[in-house]
A = this chain, B = another copy of it.
Amino acid sequence: MKVLAVGDVVGEAGIDTLHGLLRRVKREHGADFVIVNGENAAGRGIMPKQADDIFSAGADIITLGNHAFSKQQIAPYLDEHPDVLRPANLAPQSPGRGWGVFDGPQGLRLLVMNLIGRCDMHYGPDNPFLCADKILREAAGQYDIALAEIHANATSEKLAMGYYLDGRAAAVWGTHTHVQTADNRVNPKGAGYITDIGMTGPVVSVLGVCVEQSVAMFRGDLTEYFKTAPGDCALSGAVFTIGRDGRCASVARVWERWAVR
């Protein structure tokens, strides 16, 4: 089985890129199952329209992150769509779900969990490590293969999660920093791992944002904030090749440029 995870889709440009490339990438890599992080589909957050668009581009599951509820209009949509996951370790009364068991290829039942880190991020969520334990306990017997996205800032928190779930999940990938890392590999007990799969959006940008605005902010100039950058985009992600035994055989990085019309 091959799982394709796609990193944070940024704005309309990112969604266009997904429509332009996702089915081709899926075909070329032979991916059977596609998980797309959509927390920036509306810049900060996502609205029902963008979620529909991401599904129509070929995603099986949409995951979110710290911007899950930056647009609160998404809340009722989450309650109706179990295939859109917000971080599982948000406050328990949050709308939506943080994990689910889904029908995968070859009759495999896939447990997908969306976790969020806290180191150098917002302090609000519950402990993602203990949350992962709880999910694995609750879902025991209901799934064949476990997959985990850790949406986090600190490389330390993501690396630690990759080792923590090693032997219990077949793939652990990071999102949130919007820059793809080069450390794709299989951990000692068989979990495919990469610290960050990168973002899907404008190539010449700072996390998707217009370079001039970001530079101005760091210089301490007054500036407006958060215009999506113009120009060519890229789809960024990773493909995990997973055996029926739940071990990952290899992790390949994906980075495909898309010329915006």
**Which residues of A are at the interface with B, using a C-beta cutoff of 8 A?**
69, 72, 75, 90-95, 118-130, 153-157, 159-161, 163-164, 177-183, 187-188, 195-196, 198, 204-207, 209, 211, 214-215, 217-222, 253, 255
Contact = CB atoms under 8 A, between A and B. Distances in A.
Contacts of A90: 220
A91 to B, nearest CB: 3
Contacts of A92: 130
Most chain-B CB neighbours within 10 Å: which of A122, A214, A218, A219?
A: A218
The prevalent SS among residues of A at the interface is loop
This chain's copy number in the assembly: 4
B91 A130 contact: yes
A82 to B, nearest CB: 19
A155 B176 CA distance: 10
Nearest to A253: B182
Given A179-B155, A182-B181, A204-B188, A93 B221 contact: yes
B124 A121 contact: no
Contacts of A219: 91, 93, 127, 129-130, 164
A1 to B, nearest CB: 24
A80 B187 CA distance: 41
Contacts of A220: 90-91, 93-94, 124-125, 127, 129-130
B180 A211 contact: no
B214 A159 contact: yes
- Please give me the 6 A-B residue pairs with the lowest Cβ-Cβ distance, nearest first: A91-B220, A118-B123, A123-B123, A182-B182, A120-B120, A155-B179
A49 to B, nearest CB: 19
Given A119-B123, A179-B155, A220-B130, A211 B160 contact: yes
